[in-house]
A and B are shown apart, each in its own frame.
Chain A
Amino acid sequence: MNYSLLAPEILATAVGMLVLILGLIFKDRARQSVGIISLLSLVAVLILVILRFTDTQVFFNGIYQVDTYANFFKALFALAAVLVILNSSQYMERFGNKKSEFYALMMFATVGMMVMASAGDLLTIYIGLELMTVSFYILTAYLLEDETSSEAGLKYLILGAISSAVLLFGMSLVFALSGTTVITQIAGQISREPALIAGVILIAAGFAFKIAAVPFHMWAPDIYQGAPTPITTYLAVGSKAAGFAALLRIFIFAIPLTQFNWSLVLAILAALTMVVGNLIALTQTNVKRMLAYSSIAQAGYILAGLAAANQYGLKGVLFYAMLYVFSNTGAFAVATAVEVNTGSTDRDAFNALGQRSPMLAAVMTICLLSLAGIPPMAGFAGKFYLFSGAIQAGYLWLAFIGLLMSMISVYYYLLVAKAMYIGSNPQTGAMTVKAPARLALWVCLLATILIGVYPALLSNWAQTAISIFM
């Protein structure tokens, strides 16, 4: 076995621990360097994964799989982590003297996600999931002096534990019927019977919690709003993508559609998620909370592709998950900048941002338009794939709901744009944005436009990644 293919995971874990130890040894001096070390190692992970994108290997009798699909998601996680860490430079003062732990936890959460993407076994998925989630419990409550942050952390812990229990129960039912936890072996061992259905539903519910699908979304707004904004970003783009990565692998490989039409279950969840997420987002006046509801809605769009379970739909899932990293991180990065500068993320705080900091306003507008699915931004191409997939799979009604809800979403996204360009603000003067965050903003802006203008590049990449299912 070629263990060098595990280098990304090993590197990330080792650096996570190194950063922790550095923080212990050099209590005061290691502040800057730990950030740079984490950043560089994540970039290295990204490069490693991309360079060896098509190298595949099955480890430990199918328990751990390094394939194009996993590599796609690993690249996504590393990229998201890089952007989040760059962006968190704006937030560092608020973390007090707990900086090295922040980076270490970011690394561990990333490792957890990577394990989820690569795991070929239900329990390994669970371990990855817990590693990720436990890291997030702490990161969510990271603003020690801030009550909402602590509240968010506690709520996430309690609800996360409940959902883990549900997930584990589902896995145990599937294990009881099939006698194996290796995903690729399950399909051959099961037949259509009620306990299996119960197991599948429970697994779906467990992951639906992670991706914040209705009705398992209730935690998301409170936690997204309370958590430090960079962490919110990572929760929204990373944790969600990891949930999709694992869910997709389990459902496609382990549960044949002929045994149980999980696709319909997911389609219903997708429709509910799109409707509820978008409708509640309409009424929000806090941008961070609006983005939380928007990310619930976005999960609904992605779920629609998963429900389609055909080439277009699955390609769309990967494509959308990736562009979502850029568009959502861009939007959250601007929200972070505004929060750090004005102390608020209310929509009023964004008033006249177009005059104060045209760059921030431009990034926000482009990213929001992309999330709304307006061409030529990336989001349009992504939704195009997702909804085409849904139509091909016969879910015309789902695509219709998706389009309708996209239209509604334009309203609340443009409310922010309106505030930025038409609103007036007694305060003037540009907002300060640290150089690393500025870099992240540029990356998000360019990638969002580039993917939208030339989608073929990412789409081919996604195509290669889903070839393992076809």
Chain B
Amino acid sequence: MLGDYATIGIFLLLTILFPLAALGLAWVVRPKPLPDEEKLTTYECGVDTQGRTWVRFRVNYFLYALVFLAFDIETIFLFPWAVRFKALGLFAFVEMLVFIAILLTGLWYAWKEGALEWY
């Protein structure tokens, strides 16, 4: 059994050594000019950055995402239940109704509180 853990140990060692080796090799072979202004700019695809990188996003993005996520997960639960609908029977049906009702309450709340409006 301990042999299995030896594999893990070797992997652990490799994962530490490999990046070190790669970085070290790059350091050895790369040219080493003095840093200038061009070199110190943040790397972005072709365009220079404008202003600070820490900008605020609208909170509504998150609200949409959250509401979407809730119903996304709901479908994941609905699929297996739908597939085995007959076998699971009435109990599961009621359970699913309760589940959906809870989610709908959440949606109602989010709606009423204005989460779905775009200011």
Binding site for B on A (CB under 8 A): 17, 20-21, 24, 193-195
Contacts and interface: CB of A to CB of B under 8 A. Distances in A.
Contacts of A195: 5
Contact of A21 (B1, B5, B105): B105
B109 A20 contact: yes
A109 to B, nearest CB: 16
- Consensus secondary structure, chain B interface: helix
A376 B102 CA distance: 48
A24 B5 contact: no
A194 B109 CA distance: 48
Contacts of A20: 105, 109
A17 B99 CA distance: 12
Interface in B91-110: 102, 105, 108-109
A195 B112 CA distance: 49
B109 A24 contact: yes
B1 A17 contact: no
A194 B5 contact: yes
B5 A17 contact: no
Contacts of B5: 194-195
Contacts of B108: 21, 24
A17 B103 CA distance: 11
Contacts of A193: 1
A17 B102 contact: yes
A21 B109 CA distance: 7
Given A20-B109, A24-B108, A193-B1, 7 more contacts: A17-B105, A20-B105, A21-B108, A21-B109, A24-B109, A24-B112, A194-B5
Contacts of B105: 17, 20-21
Contacts of A21: 105, 108-109
Interface of B: 1, 5, 102, 105, 108-109, 112
Contacts of B112: 24
13 contacts: A17-B102, A17-B105, A20-B105, A20-B109, A21-B105, A21-B108, A21-B109, A24-B108, A24-B109, A24-B112, A193-B1, A194-B5, A195-B5
B8 to A, nearest CB: 9
A108 B1 CA distance: 45
A33 to B, nearest CB: 18
A24 B114 CA distance: 12
A24 B108 CA distance: 9
Nearest to B112: A24
Nearest to A192: B1
A354 B109 CA distance: 46
A39 B69 CA distance: 32
B7 to A, nearest CB: 12
A259 B19 CA distance: 37
A104 B1 CA distance: 51
Contacts of A194: 5
Contacts of A24: 108-109, 112
Nearest to A18: B105
Contacts of B109: 20-21, 24
Contacts of B102: 17
A20 B5 CA distance: 52
Nearest to B111: A24
A28 to B, nearest CB: 14
Nearest to B101: A17
A408 B106 CA distance: 49
Top 8 A-B pairs, shortest CB-CB distance:
A24-B112, A17-B105, A194-B5, A20-B109, A193-B1, A24-B109, A21-B105, A20-B105
A194 B105 CA distance: 46
A60 to B, nearest CB: 11
B74 to A, nearest CB: 15
A21 B105 CA distance: 8
Contacts of A17: 102, 105
A198 to B, nearest CB: 10
B38 to A, nearest CB: 36
Nearest to A104: B109
Nearest to B108: A24
A194 B102 CA distance: 42
B64 to A, nearest CB: 19
A146 B102 CA distance: 31
A352 to B, nearest CB: 45
- Residue among B5, B105, B108 with the most chain A CB within 10 A? B105
Nearest to B1: A193
A121 to B, nearest CB: 17
A232 to B, nearest CB: 26
A113 B91 CA distance: 25
A186 B86 CA distance: 32
A195 B8 CA distance: 11
Nearest to A193: B1
